A and B are shown apart, each in its own frame.
Chain A
Amino acid sequence: MPATKGKTVVGLVVTVTLSVAVLAGVGVLLHGHSYYNAPTESATVKGTIVGPDGKTYPHAFISDGIFGDPIDSQAHGKCNTLTVQEGTPAAAACDGGHPTWPSYGPYTHLVLPAHAYVTMTLHVYDSGGSLNVPYYASVVGTIGGTANYDGVDKASIDPTAVQHTFTLHGVPTSSQDPLFVNVPLPQSDDADAAGSPLPKGHTVTFSFITGGKGNYVWNCEYPCGDTSYQGFGAVMGSTGFMSGKVTVI
């Protein structure tokens, strides 16, 4: 090979290699800064249960909560909720940088077993209002089409008194089973209960059956963001507060 041609080939290889390396480096750097390490909870399997289809499933349990104050949610760093005051430097370490945003917590990434009967309990403590879409006031995709609200089974709640919703839906692929669950959550009293940083709140329990392995997202359908985008700005346009992931393994 002539010397000039050899230099050309070496130069070409070095240029391509360096370009790929630079692009990969920038990608890794950006991913590192953008990746949100969501607090994760895996469902616990306790025995088996017979589903409405007559099949026996592993019975998995998982619980989470919804809070009007991101500090109370404990989803954005640990701090003492009884002593940390909103707006202080100490609070900034555990409010996710948004002291006025409501938040699910302490978990926003839920890991569920595949082909299981999952019973989920949500303890909810935030205020609320009217939904943009009344459809989300209905319980959808659960066993029996109902959820248990403080001991009472209901198929829907008042669409003008909704706190938030737990709405689970899937990604646009044909390689995983569809999984759509919508449970509206009733608004809570604004006043904190005596001796507690939280109001009395509600306990909502519901069950659904998972399909095969897959990656899903959940979000809230109550317009609890700021006034932009009909209430879907701010907290509703961010991950880790009123939205998160569900991984079925």
Chain B
Amino acid sequence: MDDHEELAPTPGQRAGKFLKQKDIIQTIALGLFFTAVFVVLGLWFYPKWMPEAMSKEMVGDEGILKWFTVISAPIAGIVLAISAESFMNRRKGNEPATEDGAGIKTHGPVVLIWSAVSGLFCVLAIVWGIVEMNTWTSDALTNAPHALVVDVTGSQWAWSFEYPSLGVTSHDLYLPVGVPVQFNVVSADVNHSFWPVQLGVKVDANRLETTVVRTTPDKLGHFDVKCAELCGLYHAYMETNGEVVTQANFNNWIATAKANGGTES
């Protein structure tokens, strides 16, 4: 054996050498910066931009959006950091082209780790969604026997609401606070999507097929009712008002509607 033969570097030495390169240090620094930006956006700004939560379903929706933003922040941070580093090291003016670097070879452990982490994120998203949905469904079914039933009809391009147990129809959606509500949703023509935004539920309105969605409004105030399915000429105008009111005010509204023949705007 030749006493002067150099030993091959260990994986640790290769990784150490790799991490000491100027470009890599800059990329990591940029990655941490962009990740921090997205985390702040997700935790602080994002909730401020979202509609007011008026049910626990909407609280759940906003939680999912917030934490998924945080989880995806490192991925967005790495992608943006590599892009920024490439841009900063671009060839300028008449500079001669640099020689190509060493070819990138498939690195088994990196591919394995990357795939496993991505897979875990997907599993997390699926499990989180299933748990949330199961919780809501369980609560809704428990409350179903004493829920206020509202038959919702979507038509081009307006919503109408019927309270079958109360004998009232309306263009606006009034709900008493704290009372479970069951929406039976149907379309009179093309497909629509019933979306009371701040209540955190949304379901397709199909012709000849009733879809059901349940929630319990837990906060007084105004909410928007929109169509979330492109449905023709005036789809963008297919919006109406929703109000969560006290039980006493709801009873007054019902009484007024009945006094007007059962129809209220």
Interface size on A, residues (CB 8 A): 36
The docked-state distance in angstroms from the alpha carbon of A181 to that of B158 is 11
Contacts of A136 in B (CB 8 A): 155, 160
The docked-state distance in angstroms from the alpha carbon of A67 to that of B93 is 70
Contacts of A211 in B (CB 8 A): none
If A232-B190, A237-B232 touch, does A169 touch B263 (CB 8 Å cutoff)? no
Interface stretch of the complex, out of B83-91, B112-120, B132-140, B237-245? B237-245
The docked-state distance in angstroms from the alpha carbon of A155 to that of B169 is 13
* Interface check B202, CB cutoff 8 A: no
Min distance, Cβ A97 to any Cβ of chain B, angstroms: 17
If A180-B171, A221-B158 touch, does A243 touch B226 (CB 8 Å cutoff)? no
* Interface check B156, CB cutoff 8 A: yes
For B155, give its contact among A133, A139, A239 (CB under 8 Å).
A133
Contacts of B232 in A (CB 8 A): 229, 232, 237
For B158, give its contact among A4, A156, A169, A230 (CB under 8 Å).
A169
Interface of A is mostly: mixed
A-B contact count (CB 8 A): 93
* Interface check B250, CB cutoff 8 A: no
Contacts of A180 in B (CB 8 A): 158, 171-172, 240, 265
Choose among A4, A180, A231 the residue with the greatest number of B CB atoms under 10 Å from its CB.
A180
Contacts of A138 in B (CB 8 A): 169, 261, 263
The docked-state distance in angstroms from the alpha carbon of A219 to that of B237 is 11
The docked-state distance in angstroms from the alpha carbon of A138 to that of B158 is 14
Asked whether A172 lies within 8 Å of B224 as measured between CB atoms, the reply is yes
Contacts of A232 in B (CB 8 A): 156, 189-190, 232
Min distance, Cβ A146 to any Cβ of chain B, angstroms: 9
Asked whether B236 lies within 8 Å of A172 as measured between CB atoms, the reply is yes
Asked whether A243 lies within 8 Å of B261 as measured between CB atoms, the reply is no
Q: Give me the interface of A with B, judged by CB distance under 8 Å.
A: 2, 4-5, 132-133, 135-136, 138-141, 145, 155-156, 167, 169-172, 178, 180-182, 217, 219, 221, 223, 229-232, 236-239, 243
